[in-house]
Amino acid sequence: MTKYENQIPTTAGMSIKSLTSILRDSMRRHVERRPSGNIPMEHYQAATTEGVSEQSQVTWFGHSAFLLEIEGHRLLFDPMLGDRPSPVSWVGTKRFSKDLPMKPENFPTLDAIVISHDHYDHLDASSIRKLKSKTDRFIVPLGVRKRLIKWGVPASQITEHQWGDEFSFKGLTFACAPARHFSGRGLFDRDSTLWCSWVILGRETKVFFSGDSGYGPHFKEIGSKYGPFDLTLMECGQYDERWSNIHMMPEETVQAHLDVGGNVLIPIHWGAFTLAYHAWNEPAERVTRAARTLNVSVVTPVIGETVALNNVTHTTRSWWRRNQD
C-alpha cells in the first residue's frame, strides 16, 4: 500500500501519556464544547442556476465547507454537509445547526468540487452522492479517486493531483500545495491517500485554502511562489497542544496567513462540530484576538453569509458571543 509522508517529521501526539490525558478531558464537562442554543445562520440564495456573477465572493457552510464564486465560476470545497463526521450515521458529534444554508440536492450547477483530504469531516459520502449530479469535475489529491468512484462518481470526471501540480481549468489556475496532516478513513488505511492545500488563481483574484494542517515552513514556501493572496481560508479549530503538529493553534493560523501573504483571512474548521476539547467558540475568540495584535484583516461571517471580496467590513461582528460587540 502506498504511504504518504509530510515534508517534515510529524507526529499526531498519540503517546500513552497523551491518550490518558485525552481520556480524562473527554469526561470533563466544564467547557461548553457545543453551543447551548441555536447559532445564527443565513440561507444561501444563488443568483441563478447557470449564471454566476463576475464578482468574486465566498460563502461558508460551517467547518471547512465553502462555496467560492470566482470570476464567473462556482467551486465547492470540502462539502461535508451531513449530520455527523463519522463512518456511521448514529455515532459521533452532531452538527450544531439543525439546518444548512442550502441542502446538497438544492445546489446550483458547480464548475468543480475540490477536496483537500479524505477525513470524514471533509469528505462525506452522503453529501457527495447528493452533489455528484451538480458537477462533472472533481479535483482531489492522490488516492481519493477510489473513494468517489465507490460512491458513484464516474472516474472520467475525477482528476487526482500531487503536491507541486499546477493546471488550468476553465480559465483558472490551480496548484496542489503541501499541508502538514495525515489521511485515512479506517483502522488500516492511514496515510494511504494524500492531503493538501489548494491555490486558486484567477485573472484578478488569488485565493488560498489551507486544508487541515499543522504550522510549518510550507506556508512561507507557498507565499513565496504564489502570493500574495486576496483571501485565505485557514483552519483554526479542533486544535490541541497535544496534536498541534497536525492542527494549527489559532495564533499559528494568523501567522500562516501572514506567511502566505494573505490580505483578508476567513477562519474555518470550526462552528459546526465538536472534535476537540476547547469551547466551541474559542477558535473565533483566539483567532480574532491574534489578528488584532498582528493587524490582520479577519472576517468572521455567519454560516451561510456571502462575503464579497471587495466588501468585507460588514462581516466582522462577534456573532458567536451571547452578548455581541
**Could you report the per-residue pLDDT of 98-132, keeping only the tens digit for each?**
899 999 999 999 999 999 999 999 999 999 999 99
Whether 324 shows a pLDDT value over 70: the answer reads no
Return the DSSP state at 218: H
Whether 47 shows a pLDDT value over 70: the answer reads no
Q: What confidence score (pLDDT) does residue 100 get?
A: 95
Where is average pLDDT lowest: 5-19, 104-118, 156-170, 286-300?
Answer: 5-19
Q: At residue 69, what are phi and psi to the nearest 5 degrees?
A: -105, 110
**How far, in Å, are 5, 234, 272, 306, 317 from residue 60 at the CA level?**
30, 12, 11, 7, 15
Residues 6 or more apart whose Cβ sits within 8 Å of residue 200: 68, 70, 75, 172, 173, 174, 206, 207, 208, 209
Which residues face 207 on adjacent strands? 200, 231
Q: Cα(296)–Cα(290) distance, rounded to whole angstroms? A: 8
**Could you report the per-residue pLDDT of 301-320, keeping only the tens digit for each?**
999 999 998 776 655 789 99
Whether 263 shows a pLDDT value over 60: the answer reads yes
> What is the residue whose three cell numbers read 469535475?
137
Q: What confidence score (pLDDT) does residue 150 get?
A: 97
Type of residue at 116: S
Spatial contact of 39 and 61, defined as CB atoms under 8 Å apart? no
- The confidence band for 89, taking pLDDT boundaries of 50, 70 and 90, is confident
Where is average pLDDT lowest: 7-21, 101-115, 127-141, 182-196?
Answer: 7-21
Whether 166 shows a pLDDT value over 70: the answer reads yes
- The confidence band for 19, taking pLDDT boundaries of 50, 70 and 90, is low
* Mean pLDDT in residue range 160-185: 98
**Could you report the per-residue pLDDT of 56-79, keeping only the tens digit for each?**
999 999 999 999 999 999 999 999
Domains of the chain by range and CATH? 53-308 (3.60.15.10)
* Mean pLDDT in residue range 125-152: 98
> Considering the chain, what is the average pLDDT of its residues?
91
Whether 88 shows a pLDDT value over 90: the answer reads no
Where is average pLDDT lowest: 37-46, 99-108, 134-143, 172-181?
Answer: 37-46
Residues in the chain: 325
* Mean pLDDT in residue range 270-282: 95
- The confidence band for 49, taking pLDDT boundaries of 50, 70 and 90, is very low
- The confidence band for 31, taking pLDDT boundaries of 50, 70 and 90, is confident
Strand ranges, E, within 142-261: 158-161, 166-169, 172-177, 197-201, 206-209, 229-235
* Mean pLDDT in residue range 206-221: 98
